[in-house]
Structure 1
């Protein structure tokens, strides 16, 4: 795994447009389900709270994501801007997945992100709730390891 500290545009200070661009890049990376790729958007010593789990550093992020996606099959995520400041972004999100028994879920959550001057995320705080759904209640349809198509509705358009 690379420990590069190369920047990730767009860089702070964020505007509404660059915050939305940053969110979409994060969404696309997470939808790749590639833990190594995702980890490179974070500082080498990034601190996370994900639900009740606390992590620090890229190696811990990769390990966490490997465990996550071994359990959450057919994962598809949509993120949406909630608020932003010069170096912070708040998003709301939802993702759909099924467990190893084939039971479907939609997970809803909020994330608070803080960035360094190079556009790398130094902090991520995520609160997430899982709701069981039927397979016919799914709303996120696209190739499972690719980005959400540009014409696929976002959370607000889906009423989520």
Structure 2
């Protein structure tokens, strides 16, 4: 199945899960290849352009966010756009290794070759106790039951 636009529900869902799996590698250089050379990002309050800035941003992200585990779900799609809801958990190395969960939404726009040319992310971090974690070691992130209160 092709993961380039125009998207169907099936191809958009697969594209989202492929992105999820790629981000869970925490490999900025490999992840950077999924974006056009001039890709434009807004990540919270950071504005980036180009794969060099994306790779630098992701490198710094995972220097801070340890034990990172992410889940993405398709929210909506059109021919060349996908909206995603996501949750991830991490230990904050800049805040005493406290556990945090980020809740958020992204909207993506794709080039004809299937690479992302625009990404906007809005997210909020919530401090959690270790016993509140969903994505513990050994758990498949796609199988965790996330209730309606968290959607």
- Same fold, judged at TM 0.5 (above): yes
**Structure with greater contact order relative to length (CA < 8 Å, sep ≥ 6):** 1
Deviations 1:96-130 (A, max 9, x none): 00112220000011000000110010000000100
Deviation at 1:158, TM superposition (A): 1.8
Tell me what 2:143 maps to.
Answer: 153
Alignment of 1:1-160 (within 5 A): 9-100=2-93, 101-142=96-137, 149=140, 152-154=142-144, 157-159=145-147, 160=150
Q: In the TM superposition, what is the alpha-carbon distance from 1:153 to its structure 2 partner?
A: 1.6
Gaps of 5+ in 1: 1-8
- Residues paired across the two proteins, number: 145
TM-score, length-scaled by structure 1: 0.86
Bigger fraction of residues in helix: 2
d(CA) in 2 for partners of 1:133 and 1:72?
14
The alignment's C-alpha RMSD in Å is 1.4
Where has structure 1 moved over 2 Å in runs of 4 or more?
none
Judged with a 3 Å threshold, the aligned counterparts in structure 2 of structure 1 residues 82 and 61 are, in CA distance, closer, same or farther, namely same
